[in-house]
Amino acid sequence: MTKHHVTTTVNGDAVEFLCEAHETLLEVLRDGLGLTGTKEGCGTGDCGACSVTIDGRVVCSCLVLGVEAEGKAIQTIEGMAAGTRLHPLQRKFLEHAGLQCGICTPGILVAARSLLERNPDPTEEEVRYWLAGNLCRCTGYNKIIDAVLDAAREMRGADHA
């Protein structure tokens, strides 16, 4: 079977890869490109652990084929921190203990960043609805919501500075 040659960008870097038609973007990221920050939870689009953005839209990478990445801009959790400097969301997740086992965390951070880019001042309800597609079996969610709201506050403050 001939492989598809795909040209795309991942976290701003030009990337080329070969993949089979049936391979998902999640498989390409993890097994082909070694970007294992994106996790596989359910594999059926229910849990959100594999969330990445494609051209700014947050999606489940398990429900996208690798070939569909052609010409797109992909953002993964690996692109979130600037070197060793954590993104405010990442820092607030640590401060608020918004994670335990950590499998859901990359997907939640990617989804939360997408929310704050669109809506810098979300209500608690808006955060809960936006993150409804990201399941966490450890935290009970409250600490995650607190972390996102606190990060949003800090990021708004930074904008005014």
Nearer to another protein, 71 or 102 (CB): 71
CA-closest candidate to residue 51, choices 31, 22, 29, 68: 29
Joined tokens for residue 130: 């936006």
The span from the CA of 123 to the CA of 149, in Å, is: 8
Stretch that binds another protein, among 10-18, 56-64, 83-91, 153-161 (CB under 8 A): 56-64
Nearer to another protein, 52 or 84 (CB): 52
Taking the CA atoms of the chain, what radius of gyration do you get in angstroms?
A: 16
In the complex, minimum distance from the CB of residue 102 to another protein, in angstroms, rounded to a whole number = 19
Contact mark string toward another protein, 73..102, x via CB under 8 A: ------------------------------
CA torsion, ordered 77, 78, 80, 82, to nearest 10 deg: 170
In the complex, minimum distance from the CB of residue 84 to another protein, in angstroms, rounded to a whole number = 29
| Position 8 contacts another protein (CB under 8 A) | no
Q: At 17, give phi and psi (nearest 5°).
A: -150, 165
The span from the CA of 50 to the CA of 64, in Å, is: 10
For the segment 121-150, give every residue that binds another protein (CB under 8 A).
Answer: 129-130, 132-134
CB atoms under 10 Å from CB of 90, counted, come to: 22
Residue ranges in contact with another protein by CB under 8 A: 4, 21-22, 24, 43-46, 48, 51, 54, 57-60, 62-65, 67-68, 70, 111, 114, 129-130, 132-134
